[in-house]
Amino acid sequence: MRILRLAAAAAVVLAGVGAAQADDWSKVRIGTEGAYPPFNSLTSDGQLVGFDIDIANALCEEMKVECEFVTQDWDGMIPALQAGKFDAVIASMSITEERKQKVDFTNKYYNTPPAIGVPKDSKLAGVTKEDLSGILLGAQSSTTHSNYAEAHFPDAELKLYPTADEYKLDLENGRIDAVIEDVVVLSDWLATENGACCKVLSTLKSDPVINGEGAGIAIRKGEDELKEMFNKAIVAIRENGKYEEINAKYFDFDVYGD
């Protein structure tokens, strides 16, 4: 009997590992990075702000669920989602085939092209493979931008940084010749005092295989109910003007794309 009881206890524990929680979506935990302005960043007193955060709050309000934010380093975002540290990633994550093999995505909630940023006195003329050959090119690691650089600028020497802040520092002090980043993120930084050193050289043509169809909300595979809730909410805030309102707060053009 004792052995049976023990086996039963073990079975319960093992089952618990498999299904960490029931599908009751009154409360949703949202993972975000907090180091990617203007989409998501932390203020000096530790508050999360940005387009992603406002959109997330609007979506949660629309879905009538309580949302709790969890900050997580970019490199560990998908593993943390899979491990159940949070239920959805709203952190400007591009919907790509590579990621789709591990997680599910909602429809996009915005889509902006990548761009090349350089110091103002840069001698770079264009953004073709030949133009960028031999230069030091910075990017954030584990991003579509770093993948784009590896695929399209194989002759550039790629430098990978854990967060956007660090390659900005190195572009500013001239360690690297150029960076590849979302045009909106670049422009936002260039408008600040620290970004005065630099300029956008040119936007790049999105590569559908690498950049995917835009930024979506990542959720664990098989959580279809939550995915549908988010998809409906995205449509709803697009229609009721909430999206437009948030968009206008940050940008002077529609970041949703076409």
Partner 1 sequence: MIAANPATGTPRPPAPPKPWTNARIAGHVLMALWAIAGLYLVYYLIGNLEKPILEFLLPYLPIDWQEYANERLALQTFDSYLERYGQKYIDGLIVTLQIVGLSLLFGAALSIPIAAARSSKWKIFSWPAYGFVYFFRGTPLIAQTFLIYYGFGSFRPELQSIGLWWFFRDAFYCVVFAFTLNTAAYQAEILRGAVQNVARGQWEGAAALGLSKPVTFFKIILPQALIVALRPYGNEIILMIKGSAIAAIVTVFDMFAETKRAYSRTYDFQAYIWAAVLYLMIVETLRRIWDKLEARLTRHLKR
Q: Is 207 in the site for partner 1 (CB under 8 A)?
A: no
Q: Is 3 in the site for partner 1 (CB under 8 A)?
A: yes
Taking CB under 8 A as the criterion, the residue among 129, 175, 205, 221 binding partner 1 is 175
Q: Is 84 in the site for partner 1 (CB under 8 A)?
A: no
- The amino acid present at 42, given as its one-letter code, is L
Nearest to 182 by CA among 89, 50, 24, 44: 50
Q: Is 2 in the site for partner 1 (CB under 8 A)?
A: yes
**Minimum CB–partner distance for residue 159 and partner 1 (Å):** 4
Taking CB under 8 A as the criterion, the residue among 133, 173, 192, 240 binding partner 1 is 173
Q: Is 102 in the site for partner 1 (CB under 8 A)?
A: yes
Q: Which residue(s) pair with 30 in the sheet?
A: 69, 88
Distance from C-alpha of 192 to C-alpha of 94, rounded to nearest angstrom: 25
Q: Which is nearer to partner 1, 71 or 203 (CB)?
A: 71
For the stretch 37-44, contacts whose Cβ atoms lie closer than 8 Å and that sit 24 or more positions apart, written own/partner, are: 37/164, 37/185, 37/188, 37/189, 38/184, 38/185, 38/188, 38/250, 39/91, 39/92, 39/184, 39/185, 40/90, 40/91, 40/92, 42/71
Q: Is 174 in the site for partner 1 (CB under 8 A)?
A: yes
User: Which window, 39-47, 77-85, 121-129, 229-237, contacts partner 1 (CB under 8 A)?
Assistant: 77-85
**Minimum CB–partner distance for residue 181 and partner 1 (Å):** 15
Q: Which is nearer to partner 1, 106 or 143 (CB)?
A: 143
User: What tokens appear for 151 in the block?
Assistant: 């695929």
User: What tokens appear for 248 in the block?
Assistant: 């206008």
Q: Which is nearer to partner 1, 37 or 138 (CB)?
A: 138
**Buried b or exposed e, range 175-200, using 16+ CB within 10 angstroms:** ebbbbbbbbbbbbbbbeeeebebbbe
Q: Is 141 in the site for partner 1 (CB under 8 A)?
A: yes
Q: Are 68 and 29 in contact (CB under 8 A)?
A: yes
Q: Is 194 in the site for partner 1 (CB under 8 A)?
A: no
User: What tokens appear for 15 in the block?
Assistant: 């089952």
Taking CB under 8 A as the criterion, the residue among 68, 98, 130, 254 binding partner 1 is 98
Distance from C-alpha of 44 to C-alpha of 108, rounded to nearest angstrom: 30
Q: Is 161 in the site for partner 1 (CB under 8 A)?
A: yes
Q: Is 195 in the site for partner 1 (CB under 8 A)?
A: no
Give the strand pairing for 35-36 and 40-42.
antiparallel
User: What tokens appear for 158 in the block?
Assistant: 């790629």
Taking CB under 8 A as the criterion, the residue among 35, 53, 78, 116 binding partner 1 is 78
Q: Is 221 in the site for partner 1 (CB under 8 A)?
A: no
Taking CB under 8 A as the criterion, the residue among 29, 57, 122, 166 binding partner 1 is 166
Q: Which residues bind partner 1 (CB under 8 A)?
A: 2-3, 6, 10, 75, 78-79, 82, 98-99, 101-102, 138, 141-142, 146-147, 159-162, 166, 169-170, 173-175
